[in-house]
A and B are shown apart, each in its own frame.
Chain A
């Protein structure tokens, strides 16, 4: 049990550092979406199903959509 939680926290760190290092902004947004999804799994393991549902629907779907619409209207590559 503790090994599963440690692996999930490690995957969350790797995704967050990938969001730091990517130069293509759409790839960085998808890495941030993955951080939100793994946080939703951790909320469920901490016995909070309401918060897990809210984080999965708002943080992982609507925030990513709003970011991609904003990137479409400005530049795509960070220089």
Chain B
């Protein structure tokens, strides 16, 4: 009975949405803000990847809000799960030798690939969030393959705080020097399409990549406590 009512309501909503989708034609250009960013991104920020210059340069304040939301979610998760008592049940069973050796062999390669993604974020598709997620999946491999090893708590919290602090301090420095607004680009632009170009954008992406990587592996570590 409940399912029939739900299906009827959803089909009424679908009719309304279909009638209003006629106003959004597929495949035609719709906004002027995108054209302005495409034309002026080369002189004003100097990054080759226009999506990077929009995320960090023109809309850097939204990225600051996103990092705050991730941080709040990790704090909430730690606060809810910290009230469970941890039962010490001795040594977990060790995995076989092939699995342990394979995981230990793959771990630095995946870390290198993740670092490549966020260092070259302003020249090719990539950036801080994607590179941080790849680094967190390298730590997930170590948790699943070689059981019993844990992330160094002190090192991971130092990296995370350092990443957040670098982002905020660079924005405040841009407030005093440079163009007198938050997160203005005050370092020299450099040559086009090389590694040391685009001002402070690579520095911000390195800070974001380290922060997101250690935060997501901290989430996995908090949820995986053996309390049964």
A contacts B: CB pair < 8 Å: yes
Q: What residues make up the interface of A, taking CB atoms closer than 8 Å to B?
A: 49-50, 53-54, 57-58, 61-62, 65-66, 69-70, 73
The complex places the Cα of A50 from the Cα of B130 at a distance, in Å, of 8
A5 to chain B, nearest CB (A): 12
Interface size range on B against A? 20 to 34
Number of A-B contacts (CB under 8 A): 43
CA distance A38 to B155 in the complex (A): 37
Residue of A nearest to B228 (CB): A73
Per-position 1/0 for B123-139, Cβ under 8 A of A: 00111011001101100
- Check: B146 CB closer than 8 A to any chain A CB: no
Contact A57 B220 (CB under 8 A): no
Q: Which of A53, A57, A69 sits near B224, CB closer than 8 Å?
A: A69
Is the CB of B219 closer than 8 A to any CB of chain A?
yes
CA distance A73 to B223 in the complex (A): 9
- Chain A interface secondary structure, helix, strand, loop or mixed? helix
The majority secondary structure among interface residues of chain B is helix
B166 contacts A by Cβ under 8 Å: no
Question: B203 on the interface (CB 8 Å rule)?
Answer: no
- Are A65 and B228 in touch, CB under 8 angstroms? no
**What are the residues of chain B within 8 A of A50 when measuring CB–CB?**
49, 51-52, 125-127, 130
Query: Whole-angstrom distance from the CB of B114 to the nearest CB of chain A?
Result: 9
Tell me if B125 and A62 are in contact (CB < 8 A). Answer: no
Q: Chain B's nearest CB lies how many Å from the CB of A54?
A: 5
Shortest distance from the beta carbon of B139 to any chain A beta carbon, whole Å: 11
Shortest beta-carbon distance, A68 to chain B, in Å? Answer: 10
- Quick one: closest A residue to B50, CB to CB? A50
Contact in complex: A57, B137 (CB < 8 Å): yes
Which chain B residues have a beta carbon within 8 Å of chain A's beta carbons? 49, 51-52, 117, 125-127, 129-130, 133-134, 136-137, 140, 216, 219-220, 223-224, 227-228
Find B134's partner among A49, A57, A66, A73 (CB 8 Å cutoff). Answer: A57
How far is it, in angstroms, between the C-alpha of A61 and the C-alpha of B140 when the chains are bound? 10
Once A49-B125, A50-B51, A50-B125 are accepted as A-B contacts, the answer to whether A69 and B133 lie under 8 Å apart by CB is no
A51 nearest in chain B by CB position: B51
* List of A residues within 8 angstroms of B228 by Cβ: 73
Q: CA A70 – CA B224 in complex, angstroms?
A: 9
Q: How far is the CA of A73 from the CA of B222 in the complex (A)?
A: 13
Contact A62 B126, CB 8 Å, known A54-B133, A57-B133, A57-B137: no
Whether B223 and A61, one on each chain, are in contact in the complex, defined by CB atoms closer than 8 angstroms, is no
With contact pairs A50-B125, A53-B126 given, residues A70 and B134 touching in the complex (Cβ less than 8 Å): no
Are A57 and B130 touching (Cβ within 8 A)? yes
Q: How far is the CA of A61 from the CA of B133 in the complex (A)?
A: 9
Asked if A54 contacts B129 (CB within 8 A), the reply is yes
